[in-house]
Structure 1
Amino acid sequence: MYFLRTESFSQFIRLYPIITIIIAIHTAFFVFNHVLTIFMPGLESYYYLLMGQNYFIAVEGEYWRLITPIFLHAGFTHVLFNSFSLVLFGPVLERMLGKFKFILAYLICGILANVATLYLAPLNYASVGASGAIFGLFGLYVFMLLFRQDLLDSQSRQMIMVIVIFALVMTFVNSNINIYAHIFGLIAGVALGPIILNRVRPIPHYF
């Protein structure tokens, strides 16, 4: 089973450094914005400088807002859920792809999700969160389900199918969800599959 985590904390950090760094960034931004600003009012302005806001991207040319929102979150539940999703579903891909290809795929999917949000959402739309990038990882798994089943064992294939369907349903059920980022992050992951998974082989450790 691919998605059972049996590593200790130190083993996880050593085996999956990119995921560890991403989660550390999530946590640092969350603590800085939601904890430290309580004691130092005014510092929260940096959060609004980094979040995705269509007006400032389209009109003011602040294109960094296509990248920085991937690492920001709206609250504790938001950052916890996205970080937990990375812990569960990221390690397999980091091992399969290697550090460089994994972070490249993650960022490309997250950025394309934010570009879709820019073009499809209203000009006054604002968003934060890693969901677009995480749905991009789901998209890579969908590509495996369709075209590279040799990369996943049968239990993992069943689990990822259920998770993707559940995630898509919740996308349209929950409020305050960036539907554009979820859908186009997923599409970006599937589209990247033929390129990013080219010549990738199953992880021997898991068999």
Structure 2
Amino acid sequence: MFTRTESFKEFLRHFPIVSIIVSIHIVLYFLTVLPFLPNLWLFEHFAGVNLYIIEGEYWRLITPIFMHNGFPHMLFNSFSLVLFGPALEQMLGKGKFLFVYLTAGIAANLATLLLEPLTYIHVGASGAIFGLFGFFAAVIMFRKDMISYANSQLILTITIIGVIMTFLQPNINVIAHLFGLLAGFLIGVGLLPNKKRLAAFINQSNSGYSRKQRPSLKGVSPSKLILWGSIVILALLGFLFR
């Protein structure tokens, strides 16, 4: 699910939204570092500045999702999106995936506006990326048929590590991480379950899994699982330690 085996051209064709978002990350980053451009102009006009948002510059609830402060910040956010985004884009389709990503990012920025001081300044896609984690959590809870047991355990582990590291690292927008995660989960709850499936989930949770019901790891290569699990965890740690 998180293993990328496509060529570059195949990736662009199969996952256009992820590709476009990463391209925007890269272009905006280079526009901020090229010596012949006024590199502070983009930050001055598009970074999330709570005071300016209050004064009516509402586009700053969206534009910080695509802006990054330095190459490591841009690289690890983009790498995280390349790892975790394609599975959801394939699962939901282009329109719904973009809706989930942007809505989670905007919710994270709104929470930052409401809970941080007016002088607070922020950039980065982390709120939207945590929104993807939250959506995966909803998939795991309400639509187990859409994700394998091995992948569900992997994504839960990564999400838990991400939340823990959010509180341990300096200069992290904790509000954006937590509310992006919550927004992604709530969007998933709204999009995924129906009444019958929700009732089945509640009954299953009360009764527990039988041995026959538990999803099987058969057919999953342990070496591949360990390899890609390590890559994903390293990417997440890099994303948080940037």
1:130-178, Cα deviation, whole Å (9 max, x unpaired): 0111111100011112222111111101110111011111111111111
Look up the match of 1:89.
84
TM-score normalised by length of structure 2: 0.78
- Are positions 1:98 and 2:93 aligned together? yes
How far off is 1:179 after superposition? 0.5
CA RMSD of aligned residues (A): 1.4
Name stretches of at least 5 consecutive residues in structure 1 with no aligned partner. Answer: 200-206
Identity of aligned residues (%): 52
Structure 2 counterpart of 1:133, one-letter code: A
Deviation string, structure 1 residues 173-194 (Cα, Å, up to 9, x no partner): 1111110100000000110012
Structure 2: runs of 5 or more not aligned:
195-219, 221-242
Cα offset for 1:198?
Answer: 5.1
Whether the aligned pair in 2 keeps the contact of 1:97 and 1:196 (CA below 8 Å) is no
Match of 1:17 in 2: 16
- Tell me which residue corresponds to 2:169: 174
Secondary structure, aligned partner of 2:68: coil
CA distance in 2, matches of 1:25, 1:196: 27
In structure 2, what is the Cα distance between the partners aligned to 1:106 and 1:87? Answer: 13
In the alignment, structure 1 residue 140 sits paired with structure 2 residue 128: no
Of 59, 67, 84, the residue aligned with 1:64 is 59
CA contact (8 A) 1:97 1:197 kept: no
- DSSP 3-state at the match of 1:39: coil
Is residue 2:192 matched to residue 1:192? no
Which amino acid is 1:139 matched to?
Answer: G
Q: Is the Cα–Cα contact under 8 Å of residues 142 and 192 in structure 2 kept in the other structure?
A: no
> What is the SS of the residue equivalent to 2:106?
helix
Deviation of the 1:103 alpha carbon: 0.4
User: What are the superposed Cα offsets for residues 74-113 of structure 1, whole Å, 9 maximum, x if unpaired?
Assistant: 1111111111111111011101110011101111100010
The residue identity in structure 2 corresponding to 1:44 is L
Query: What is the rounded CA distance, in whole Å, between the counterparts of 1:135 and 1:159 in structure 2?
Result: 15
Q: Secondary structure at the match of 1:177?
A: coil
1:8 aligned residue: 7
**Runs of 4+ deviating beyond 2 Å:** 194-199
Name the SS of the counterpart of 1:112 in structure 2: helix
Aligned to 2:214: none
What count of residue pairs does the alignment treat as equivalent? 195
Q: Mean Cα displacement is larger for which, 124-133 or 42-51?
A: 42-51
The answer on 1:39 being equivalent to 2:36 is: yes
Matches within 5 A, 1:123-162: 123-162=118-157
